[in-house]
Chain A
Amino acid sequence: MCVAIPMRVVEIDGNQAVCEYEGIRRTARIDLLPNVKVGDYVLIHVGFVIQKIDINAAEEILMLYKQMEETL
């Protein structure tokens, strides 16, 4: 029920953003994250953008595992 889908913003028009993930496009409302920008990765829940995804934070975590694998 609380499923949220990660997508990337490709266009903003007023209160709506066109978002894309792997070729699928759909529009979402941006009332809950008004400062969202084209190019941002965002989470979408029931047709509303609810959060921006911090790509750097994700990559830092993955980097840790890469290092751990190398030391194994």
Chain B
Amino acid sequence: MNHLYFDLPKFKDKKNVEIEVEKIHKLSKKINRKVCIMEVCGTHTMQIAKYGIRKMMPENVKLISGPGCPVCVTPQEYIDKAIYILKNYDVIITTFGDLYRVVGTESSLEKERINGKDVRIVYSPYESLDIAKSVNKPVVFLSIGFETTMPAVACTIKEAKRSNINNLYFFIGNKFFLPALETLILFNRNFLSPFIKTEMFIDGFLLPGHLSVIVGEESYLWVAERYGLSGVITGFEPLDIVRGIRMLLETFVDSQPRIQNEYVRVVSYEGNKFAKKVISEVFEPTGGSWRGLGFIDESTAKLKKEYEMFDAEKVFNIPNITINLSNTKCKCNEVLIGKITPFECPLFEKVCTPENPVGACMVSSEGACAAYYKYERCYLR
């Protein structure tokens, strides 16, 4: 048995996708109203744009992008603080590539590196550990990412403690996605905030596949129970995505909101219990701000007391930085919650491009603006 990764290409197969798209069109006729489906994972945003799935949809099925990209929701002050550490201390910064070009108030990690600072892109947080072992100065890992990435960071921190490494620090910007999903739902219904007065209502969610690998289907049951909204945990191949949309439409037709799992090949009901355990051993939730969504209780990760010695914020003296967003025309905040599409931002394509990005949604390869710029400019305005 030496077949290549079973039949993954079949999940891209045009015929299979067409079968689902036909079902979607049939179902949409039974719904008789406009429905709005939000994807809350950056990889979905990218794949929907790349495979042209938006234009396969019937007139009354609208797909919008939500806050599914950890880079995009990281507040600007995080970047500013990271740059502050870099400028004021003799350190090596390690970061995922995604964050490298994000622009802070005055600079970016990329610009600082050009100016001679030591910024290294790593694929895994674990690489920071090896770097720390090989140098005699502090190494600071810029830790961003949702529940998907947190277990890997937690394992690295535990390993650093076990092997007594005392020059590795973590600047924690990790966020818990689930509380933000609830805030988004509340925003959307105008329960909470006069800030958002959108005409649009989200009817259901395509839920993030790989985040769900960790948290499991059970983590979303409240979406249907408390708010009467449907969600489908969806994989990332084109067939997965159209299947996810079809499964959501079925719940609109029979008016029975529920959580379903399309991505059964990797997502279980209870998730990865080892990963969940290690998250709770190392991190605890605290309040924190999100670009686009503002301050959300229990949404930001913080190191537990026994791992505090690895906390960059405790070790380096970083001033409090507050950002005044009112003097910028960048509309990332509104793009992130689906209030507007990237086309409606005055900077899109004119001032803000992937080569010269203004906002995080254009920098990150998974940001909605980057996806629209790359794949969707030729149609749909």
Which A residues form the contact surface with B (CB < 8 A)?
Answer: 1-4, 6-8, 21-22, 29, 31-34, 41, 43, 45-48, 50-55, 57-59, 61-62, 65, 68-69, 72
Contact = CB atoms under 8 A, between A and B. Distances in A.
A65 B237 CA distance: 15
Interface stretch (B29-37, B119-127, B221-229, B349-357): B119-127
A34 B98 contact: no
Given A3-B210, A43-B213, A51-B266, 10 more contacts: A1-B70, A1-B364, A2-B70, A31-B155, A34-B274, A47-B125, A48-B126, A54-B265, A62-B7, A65-B13
B57 to A, nearest CB: 20
B338 interface: no
Nearest to B17: A65
The 3 closest A-B pairs by CB, nearest first: A47-B124, A2-B148, A58-B265
Given A6-B5, A69-B15, A50 B272 contact: yes
B314 to A, nearest CB: 24
Contact of B152 (A3, A45, A57): A45
Nearest to A23: B4
The residue in B6, B42, B144 that gathers the most chain A C-beta atoms within 10 A of its C-beta is: B6
A34 B265 CA distance: 19
Nearest to A7: B5
B266 A46 contact: no
B366 A65 contact: no
Nearest to A72: B19
Nearest to B99: A1
A57 to B, nearest CB: 5
A1 B69 contact: yes
Given A2-B41, A2-B211, A68 B155 contact: no
B152 A46 contact: yes
B63 to A, nearest CB: 19
A22 B214 CA distance: 26
A46 to B, nearest CB: 5
23 contacts: A1-B96, A1-B98, A1-B144, A1-B148, A1-B149, A1-B364, A2-B146, A4-B148, A4-B213, A22-B5, A41-B5, A43-B210, A43-B213, A45-B148, A46-B124, A46-B145, A47-B126, A50-B210, A53-B265, A54-B264, A65-B19, A68-B19, A69-B15
Contacts of B127: 47
Contact of A2 (B19, B42, B278): B42
B10 interface: yes
A63 B131 CA distance: 47
